[in-house]
Structure 1
Amino acid sequence: MPIKKGKEALEELHNSSIEEEDRTVIELKVGEAIRSRGLTQKEVAEKSGIRPTAISNLARGYVDRISLDHLSKIVRALDIKDINELITINVESEAMQNWYHEKIEQDNEERE
């Protein structure tokens, strides 16, 4: 099945029959975009005017939300031409959600 992009992907997601136990996951790929351009997080922070800790959190995926202002600044700093370079939309099954939550708990326990 071909990967849908942009408006077509959003329409398919909206119109599809997703079971209740599934959820939509929006994945930010800021870290991947930074690495693919051979930049450091510090360089992106300087170019974008966003605090280095915020860039670090975004690059590691440690955010629940992102402002459109920050997203716009990152797009300009990285010269992003296609938003799919920064964002992926996935439908995650309940089994995958459970695995993900277990993994987070394990990571948190290891840090303590």
Structure 2
Amino acid sequence: MNFELKMLIGSLFLLALVFFSFIYQPGAGLYVAAYEVNETPPNYIEVTMEELDEYPYIKKAVMQPGKEIKVPTKEQMDVTSYRIFRESESDCIKINDTYYCLSLTFAD
């Protein structure tokens, strides 16, 4: 193998190493989770499952309590501006007789 080809292969390997080490982070992004709570929170918003249709990622989180649901990048601004987070003194909601506290987590 000639020197130029070895340098090209070495450069491509180094570039791939940098990409996968620092740039490509598949776990990075916004996650939403709902945690069922046994006690009535001091502040909460009462919603129905039908109202949660407007908030698909919160609905997914409520349907799977404790599991973090990854929000696609193009939807992240919508999730952070949900009425549920803007109008309440708390991040808790009540659906039927069950209370959930919501969590937004940014991972990088």
TM norm structure 1 = 0.34
Which one has the bigger strand percentage? Answer: 2
* Bigger helix share: 1
Rg (Cα) greater in structure? 2
